[in-house]
């Protein structure tokens, strides 16, 4: 066994005795006979081999035994500060981590942290992603990860902008499919209960229909389509029927007759109707509510 490996075993023994981690002062005190450069070589080898992990507490570097079940994908050719930041970002997974949280965990000053983040971005090890929840803030995650829907907004967002038109088109097409099912059921000549049953369709049925139409440039899954079906239900144009297995079926329903025009007039709910007259400050001719209703 070479000298560096022997020193490495001594460091491992010290780290096992102190699960919370050891710092350079602990190593210098316990390995007084070992030259500093040899100690550094042994430490670097243990870090590269994934035996130890490096953390920062205040301004002090802490070396700790790594959990065998927790494997870091950090490359071997990055320095210690980059490794600390990489490991913190890796913990954030595909939901990412705010720069403020990285600063708290790493205890690096902002200028140094920005420098390390930029270095890791240039090496294509991490990336910054804008969140739909806070467009001016960015979260960091590993470069090869696909951001979680809670960050990108899923299929309904493009460059942090809500695609209202796209959602409306899907809403109309989902409703069209439900009504087609209902009309087909009515044409079957079956009894009322059978017609009701034949009118019901699953999310998978709707997903197949939308996929066959080819109206979406992006891939939509069943969860996406269920979100749209819920909007059809909220519009009062369909109902959602719970199943024993925990799933749901959807069925088009008759839309109530629209209220006559006179009922929709704002006068019925006007807060100043008692003061309204043919002349004065409040009159039908000057009323902004009536003007908007007529438009």
pLDDT exceeds 80 at position 6: yes
The CA distance from 108 to 56, in Å, is: 9
Cβ distance 113 to 106 under 8 Å?
yes
pLDDT exceeds 60 at position 124: yes
CATH number for the domain whose boundaries are 164-252: 1.10.10.10
Same fold? 3-65, 164-252: yes
Q: Higher model confidence: residue 40 or residue 71?
A: 40
Domain extent listing, the chain? 3-65, 80-153, 164-252, 261-294
How far CA 62 is from CA of 143, 154, 224, in Å, comes to 26, 39, 45
pLDDT exceeds 80 at position 39: yes
Per residue in 209-268, pLDDT (tens digit) is 999 988 887 788 888 899 899 989 988 899 999 999 888 999 999 866 555 555 567 776
Per residue in 93-121, pLDDT (tens digit) is 888 898 888 888 777 788 988 999 999 99
| Fold of the domain spanning 80-153 | Arc Repressor Mutant, subunit A (1.10.10)
CB neighbours of residue 149 within 10 Å? 16
Mean pLDDT of the region 264-291: 75
Mean pLDDT of the region 144-168: 75
Task: Name the range with the highest mean pLDDT among 132-141, 184-193, 272-281.
Answer: 184-193
Confidence band, pLDDT 50/70/90 cuts, at residue 282: confident
> So what's the pLDDT on residue 241?
93
> So what's the pLDDT on residue 9?
87
CB neighbours of residue 156 within 10 Å? 18
pLDDT exceeds 90 at position 290: no
Per residue in 43-100, pLDDT (tens digit) is 888 877 778 877 777 777 888 887 765 656 677 778 878 888 888 898 888 888 988 8
Cβ distance 132 to 157 under 8 Å?
yes
pLDDT exceeds 80 at position 18: yes
Domain 3-65: which CATH class? mainly alpha
The CA distance from 61 to 83, in Å, is: 12
HSE of 141, CA atoms in CB hemisphere, 13 A: 17
Confidence band, pLDDT 50/70/90 cuts, at residue 19: confident
> So what's the pLDDT on residue 59?
72
> So what's the pLDDT on residue 256?
63
The CA distance from 199 to 106, in Å, is: 58
C-alpha radius of gyration, the chain, whole number: 32
Q: Higher model confidence: residue 126 or residue 54?
A: 126
pLDDT exceeds 80 at position 8: yes
Two structure tokens written together for 290: 């009536």
Cβ distance 162 to 153 under 8 Å?
yes
């Amino acid at each position: 066994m070479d000298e560096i490996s022997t020193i490495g075993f001594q460091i491992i023994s010290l780290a096992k005795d102190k699960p919370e981690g050891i710092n350079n002062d602990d190593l210098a005190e316990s390995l007084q006979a070992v030259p500093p450069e040899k100690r550094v070589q042994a430490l670097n080898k243990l870090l590269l081999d994934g035996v130890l992990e490096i953390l920062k507490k205040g301004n002090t570097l802490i070396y700790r035994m790594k959990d065998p079940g927790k494997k870091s994908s950090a490359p071997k050719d990055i320095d210690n500060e980059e490794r600390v930041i990489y490991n913190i970002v890796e913990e954030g997974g595909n939901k990412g981590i705010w720069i403020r949280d990285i600063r708290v965990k790493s205890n690096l000053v902002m200028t140094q942290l920005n420098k390390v983040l930029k270095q890791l971005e240039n090496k294509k090890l991490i990336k910054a992603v804008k969140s739909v929840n806070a467009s001016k803030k960015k979260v960091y995650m590993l470069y090869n990860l696909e951001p979680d829907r809670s960050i990108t907004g899923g299929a309904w967002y493009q460059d942090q902008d809500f695609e209202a038109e796209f959602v409306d088109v899907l809403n109309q097409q989902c409703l069209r499919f439900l009504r087609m099912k209902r009309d087909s059921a009515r044409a079957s000549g079956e009894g009322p209960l059978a017609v009701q049953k034949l009118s019901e369709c699953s999310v998978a049925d709707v997903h197949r229909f939308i996929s066959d139409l080819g109206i979406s440039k992006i891939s939509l899954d069943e969860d996406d389509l269920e979100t749209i079906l819920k909007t059809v239900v909220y519009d009062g144009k369909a109902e959602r029927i719970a199943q024993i297995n925990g799933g749901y079926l959807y069925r088009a329903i008759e839309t109530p007759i629209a209220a006559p025009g006179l009922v929709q007039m704002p006068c019925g709910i006007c807060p100043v109707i008692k003061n309204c007259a043919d002349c004065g400050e409040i009159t039908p001719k000057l009323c902004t509510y009536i003007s908007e209703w007529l438009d």
